[in-house]
Structure 1
């Protein structure tokens, strides 16, 4: 077997453990409004993209540890909750109302978790705020590969997490087809080397 030329500098893969679905107290690491193009190229839509990490319990700093463990050039922060923003174009009033309702529920959960904080439509001020977040398992499939990942689903008041007053969201499987991929759950690193905070993207 030929020796790999960069062997002495290669970092060994970390041991992986997937974040269990459930409720966690989180800190918002950053928030931004992002614009996306519709799949049918008929226009664009916006989402409020909120990056977060767990701040209490066994899985504290889970996403920071995950980020530090990524060895590829396209490192990305995986702890993200995205909320659709109402487009207010009048095309679908019922959908706009539902979208606004989900956004308001998330904002109220943040307000209730941070004494004295009131939402003023400046998403940058969400950074550093504490909030409870429910996570679920979601099946994925891409280019012949697939598995399960844990994703942020919605915000609730942080004290509800601390008091155990929540239900773990049901898993969301793919709609099955004859050629669906069935593999073991995708895992996320937990036991990784901790390095300086200035390595993080926030």
Structure 2
């Protein structure tokens, strides 16, 4: 039986092979930054995150997220390179103090990576164009009965530390909703159970 040639075949773009990003640390450029408000799972409260969209700026994987974005064919294209940092509530809890410490580490990493820059806490959009190191960890995804592993942004560090290799890879993060963890790490499909969404770009 012959295969019917699809309409407009000459202009159809072949699906590109998705590049797999290894776990590690990369020198990145911030492309966009903003604060987003989330609702808790039970709807009883809200919380905020500083969301930083970036792309890898140097090395073999330079432009990784731009390539990924361009390769997406659906109308709901999403920019996958996003580092999310919880913002403190100043509620006096131990968890809030940890959040403050994590935020300070992020801000200091950006300031030390961009001589003369000082974050003013009023214009997070001015983070655009700044350089920063980003450490990635292996995170497990789960979708139905399928699951696998993917390198995801974990935290910021200085560009100098990335260049000098002065960082330690974080432990892998399993997904409690995964049916099995014995799936190859190079699976192409990727979804998370978290309520975070990738930024349209």
Q: What SS is found at the alignment partner of 2:62?
A: coil
2:111 is matched with 111
**Aligned counterparts, 1:129-140, within 5 A:** 129-140=130-141
Instruction: Point out the more displaced range, 144-153 or 21-30.
Output: 144-153
* In structure 2, C-alpha distance between the alignment counterparts of 1:161 and 1:187, rounded to whole Å: 27
Aligned length: 187
**Aligned counterparts, 1:172-187, within 5 A:** 172-175=173-176, 179-180=179-180, 182-185=182-185, 186-187=187-188
User: Mind listing any 5+ residue stretches in structure 2 that lack a counterpart?
Assistant: 190-199
Following TM superposition, by how much is the alpha carbon of 1:108 offset from its aligned partner in structure 2, in angstroms? Answer: 0.3
Q: TM-score, normalised on structure 1?
A: 0.85
Q: TM-score, normalised on structure 2?
A: 0.85
2:195 is matched with none
* In structure 2, C-alpha distance between the alignment counterparts of 1:76 and 1:180, rounded to whole Å: 27
Following TM superposition, by how much is the alpha carbon of 1:4 offset from its aligned partner in structure 2, in angstroms? Answer: 6.1
* In structure 2, C-alpha distance between the alignment counterparts of 1:176 and 1:36, rounded to whole Å: 21
Structure 1 segments of 4 or more deviating over 6 A? none
Quickly say closer, same or farther: Cα 1:155–1:102, change in 2 above 3 A: same
User: Mind listing any 5+ residue stretches in structure 1 that lack a counterpart?
Assistant: 189-199
Q: Is the 8 A contact 1:145 1:181 kept in 2?
A: no
Q: Is the 8 A contact 1:27 1:129 kept in 2?
A: yes
Quickly say closer, same or farther: Cα 1:66–1:132, change in 2 above 3 A: same
Q: Is the 8 A contact 1:16 1:187 kept in 2?
A: yes
Quickly say closer, same or farther: Cα 1:6–1:73, change in 2 above 3 A: farther
**Aligned counterparts, 1:58-137, within 5 A:** 58-88=60-90, 90=91, 93-121=93-121, 122-137=123-138
- Bigger relative contact order (CA 8 A; separation at least 6): 1
RMSD of aligned Cα (Å): 2.1
